[in-house]
């Protein structure tokens, strides 16, 4: 079974621009979660989508948004980029049912904002 | 506010010895705990988990212990192998099964041959 894929793997953007990251979950997985990883902060939860609906949300500003499509693929958008948005963005998929805590992570998208 | 704390940023252990990675949490609503391992340039991979109704779970060389009264869990790796060198993340979830999982900042384990 193919794993979680994320595109692009690397991205360089300028302050003020916007960016869209894509995540394709494992086939059959209906939940997709997004995390931001920065040095010293670990993995910070952004949001989780299940069946095209945002089910959980972390404490990030409204510049961070996402969506999920009917095939469970998900996109994350960051508008008006700031230098502090430079990070590794990870997406994780799971079956999404009650008790399905185990998540499968993609390799991440490394975003650099200059 | 870090609800899941991994206070040791790094740990070095000789090959063949025991590695003990620690994790503390503050949210008493957490009822499921997980450990993930992350190699450079890869996403984290699930290692082992434990429900709050248990105090120990074992999988091969990996054992997780949970002390609810102390809000503390630990991961034991015995014997440690050079391939275990990675960053280990402790994570916790507060019930319902839905994937709002809180991660610690990670502990970098180096196993010295």
With a cut of 70, say whether residue B1 has pLDDT above it: no
Tokens linked to A9:
């793997």
Contact A45 B34 (CB under 8 A): no
Contact B89 A97 (CB under 8 A): no
Q: Among residues of chain B, what percentage have pLDDT more than 70?
A: 95
Give the nearest chain B residue to A37 (CA atoms): B105
pLDDT per residue over B83-93, tens digit each? 999 999 999 98
Residues of chain A contacting B45 with CB distance shorter than 8 Å = 104-105
Averaged pLDDT for residues A92-100: 82
With a cut of 80, say whether residue B99 has pLDDT above it: no
Q: Interior CA angle at B40 toward A56 and B36, to 5°?
A: 45
With a cut of 90, say whether residue A111 has pLDDT above it: yes
Give the nearest chain A residue to B9 (CA atoms): A40
Query: Given this model, what pLDDT does residue A101 score?
Result: 79
Instruction: Indicate the pairing of strand B19-25 with strand B4-5.
Output: antiparallel
Give the nearest chain A residue to B100 (CA atoms): A56
pLDDT per residue over A3-43, tens digit each? 999 999 999 999 999 999 999 999 999 999 999 998 877 89
Query: Given this model, what pLDDT does residue A1 score?
Result: 64
Query: How far is B63 from B54, CA to CA, in rounded Å?
Result: 12
pLDDT per residue over B41-89, tens digit each? 889 999 999 999 999 999 999 999 999 999 999 999 999 999 999 999 9
* Residues on A contacting B at a C-beta cutoff of 8 Å: 4, 31, 33, 35, 40-45, 48, 50, 55-56, 58, 90, 92, 94, 96-108
Q: Which of A108, A10, A18, A113 is nearest to A64 (CA)?
A: A18
Helix (H, G, I), strand (E, B), or coil: what is residue B86?
strand
Tokens linked to B15:
């090959």
Residue-averaged pLDDT of chain B? 93
């Amino acid at each position: 079974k193919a794993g979680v894929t994320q595109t692009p793997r690397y991205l360089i953007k300028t302050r003020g621009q916007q960016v869209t990251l894509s995540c394709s979950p494992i086939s059959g997985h209906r939940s997709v979660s997004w995390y931001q990883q920065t040095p010293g902060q670990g993995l910070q939860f952004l949001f989780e989508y299940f069946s095209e609906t945002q089910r959980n949300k972390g404490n990030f500003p409204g510049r961070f948004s996402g969506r999920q499509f009917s095939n469970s693929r998900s996109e994350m958008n960051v508008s008006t980029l700031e230098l502090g948005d430079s990070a590794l963005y990870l997406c994780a998929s799971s079956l999404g049912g009650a008790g399905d805590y185990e998540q499968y992570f993609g390799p991440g998208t490394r975003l650099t904002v200059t | 506010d870090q609800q899941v704390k991994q206070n040791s940023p790094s740990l070095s252990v000789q090959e063949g010895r025991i590695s003990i990675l620690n994790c503390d949490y503050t949210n008493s609503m957490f009822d499921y705990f997980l450990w993930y391992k992350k190699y450079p340039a890869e996403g984290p991979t699930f290692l082992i988990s434990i429900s709050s109704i248990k105090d120990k779970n074992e999988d091969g060389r990996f054992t997780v212990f949970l002390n609810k009264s102390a809000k503390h869990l630990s991961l034991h790796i015995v014997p440690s192998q050079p391939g275990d060198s990675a960053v280990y993340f402790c994570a916790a979830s507060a019930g319902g099964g839905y994937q709002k999982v809180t991660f610690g900042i990670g502990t970098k384990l180096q196993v010295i041959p």
